[in-house]
Amino acid sequence: MTADDIADARASLACRALELPELAGAGTVAAYVSVGREPGTHDLREALRARGVRVLLPVLLEDNDLDWGRDEGPERLARAGRGLLEPEGPRLGPEAVTGADVVLLPGLAVDRRGVRLGRGGGSYDRVLARLERAGVRPALVVLLYDGEVLDEVPGEAHDRPVHAAVTPSAVHRFRAP
């Protein structure tokens, strides 16, 4: 994809995601800062914050688990390990994600069952397990490019399916939150 294609996809992805009823009623959304060629989250995060939504961003811990901080805008992001951008403000603890109404997940692909293929670090597997242990059921939404919704991806017993995938051109539903 060219830089223009990526910018167009970012804007379309934000518009499509903002139409989700789950996001329309959300008070808190756990998101992430896209890096490199990942589907862009900047426009979506800005729009959510403009709506008054509390947006949480992950902070990668040494053991690959995630802590969380509040998204206070791009000027309050700091470069961290592995080329990631993280919020500069106070850390809220790994359990902060349990208060989210929606969790936006990164991924490489998702299949028709809602099984998400991540990057292999296990950070979001830990988050999803934490949500389950806490007995909370936020909407789980993966952000992808068109063409990354596949018939099947490899899955493991601990994988938790997502409820929806948003691409620049469509919303794909897998199961109710």
Q: Indicate the annotated binding residues for ATP.
A: 116-124
Q: What is the dihedral of CA 133, 41, 45, 176, to 10 degrees?
A: -40
Q: CB of 68 within 8 A of CB of 45? A: no
Known binding-site positions: 33, 38, 116-124
Question: Taking the CA of residue 113 as centre, how many other CA atoms within 13 Å lie in the half-sphere pointing to its CB?
Answer: 11
Known binding-site positions for substrate: 33, 38
CA separation for the pair 161, 88 (Å, rounded): 31
SS3 for 85-117 is: EEECCCCCCHHHHHHCCEEEECCCEEECCCCEE
